[in-house]
Structure 1
Amino acid sequence: MAEWLYEAGIGEARAALVEGGTIVEARVAHEGGLRAGSVRRARLARITAPGRRGLATFDDGEAVLEPLPPGVAEGGRLLIQIVREAIPEAGRPKPARARAAAEGAEVGDGPDLAAQLAAGDVPVRAVPVHGPDLLEAAGWSELIEEATDGAIDFAGGALRLSVTPAMTLFDVDGVLPPAALALAGAQAAARAIRRMEIGGSIGIDLPTVSDKAVRQAVAAVVDAILPQPFERTAVNGFGFLQIVRRRVRASLPELLAADPVLTAALGLLRQAERAAGIGTRTLVAAPAVIARIAERADWTEALARRTGTAVALRADAARAISQCYVQTDYPPPRP
């Protein structure tokens, strides 16, 4: 039976939809930030496309407002609702998107990850810090590694995931015959799209297959794996398939790539929560990672409270950002 595993971590919440012991969908939500569904009192700061689009500003941010509600001029006040969260992007992050809020809407934040999961029809199980690491058992670290470096292996081939300003691209390569590789690659890409909550415009570059029946079978594989709603093209003669999915927030690859130091810091805190042994937990990482954790006394205080131990930080300039580990005074004996 499918179930969501939910973990309220330090600095972020994590969730994985697990079926048959495997993660089929995953979500990570950093603390803070403007969530989809939030309602704000805003000012129409600027009309960027008359009759269609403008920029709304409010106390804790700004959002592209589309469509423009009738009767609101520049400088006018209105209630807006966030329909898509801000998307991190190298050089020019995409601001949140909003629409005019429904009449009678109350100002407030949109649902957090726990509330979003609870509103669905799939059971949710909270994963405690003390006990088996159910997320890890389902393949959490492997998923995070795939989303971070973009290399996704499958039997007979591999995907290379690339996030661009225009779309997320999957390049399929491998040793299988073209028809078999196209089918296997499409299946692997569709699973990755769902696992990493990739939305917006997505392209899959498959081997060129001249047989129309094979191209139709490839499209059918995608239809069978990705839940609706989404739109797609047919597989063209050059092996390219485009998919468009609703986009409410950043995908897992976008979120992890937006701030590698933060990603490493939050991952190290998760390690520390579950570290074996007793005594002081010493977090060892690159100076930038340690500095990020040191800036947040609430993080180390939460870690000390959850583990019942003292917490120490140690910077190691010889380590890459991703090379973090946790040391305890008295590690468990070797089996």
Structure 2
Amino acid sequence: MTSGNNGASTPEDEDPFGYLYADGQANGAQPPSGGGYGYGYPNSVNRTRSVGQRQYGQQQAPAAPNGPYGQVPQQQGVPQQQGGYGQPTAHYAAPETYPGAAPTTQQPLPGYSGGGGRSGGPNTKGLLIGAIAVVAAVVIGIGVAMMGGDDQKDSGNQAATTPSASASSQPSASSSAGSEASEEYKQTIDAKALRLGGGATLASDVEGAQSDGGIYVGNLNNVGASVTWTVNGIPSDGIYTLFAHYSAASDDQAMTITVNGKVFGSKLNLKNYAKAADGDLAKGWTTTYNWPTLTKGTNTISLSCAAGDQCNVLLDQVWLKKGQVTS
């Protein structure tokens, strides 16, 4: 076969859809005939138009009672109207609108109820209240942080001006306790109030005594000579400081201390601290002390000249302070 139209029929006759095209129509293509039906479409109406020729939205001529597939038959006496935006057109109807079709139920979207109202949607009022609560919490937190910062700043300044416990300039615990106790408790007794024993006597010939009337105890340089003081109102058990005001004008002296009938471990040192010349007792007045242990309540303290002691002194006054102090 050579090029050209050598076939038994024209190409448009071979194409069953050639009648749909302009060139097919020009060559005389015809739709299949028989029974008054369009090709492949029962009861169809053949209206061939070129592409772009059909105008949508225009009123169409009424179709045959049995219209094309997908169209609802036009009722007698009811004009066909073009639907507006958002409304179904006259050329389309949902399948459920046909007689005998099963009705369908449209499920509402979650959070939406008919009638234009909203049900179960986002609670904007609740969200607003939550947002306000968050902002309030943040503001309160900032305020607390600022107040805490001021407190820390104040505490920092105070710490800078107040010495720490390790760097404190206060005396040690033992000496501090003794000093405070000594100010709280002190008892003094003059020579004339002491109980004398072993030949000790009162005198006032030597000047410089601090006791009332310048009276002092002499004649103590004999074994067995003693002075005794019964002290009432000792506030608590512990160490106390026993002070004695005396005069010594020769070699260093010492006497025995007895507390509640028991000899204390160390003697009362009566040295010539004033460096007075031998026999010059008026210039030998000075003070000494020792730290006996007393009990709460009443205690008896004695100073005696025991064997081996040096007791050539004048004694005019004795006093107690609580704690281990030196003055």
TM-score under structure 1 normalisation?
0.16
Choose between structure 1 and 2: higher strand proportion: 1
Larger radius of gyration: 2
Choose between structure 1 and 2: higher helix proportion: 1
TM-score under structure 2 normalisation?
0.16
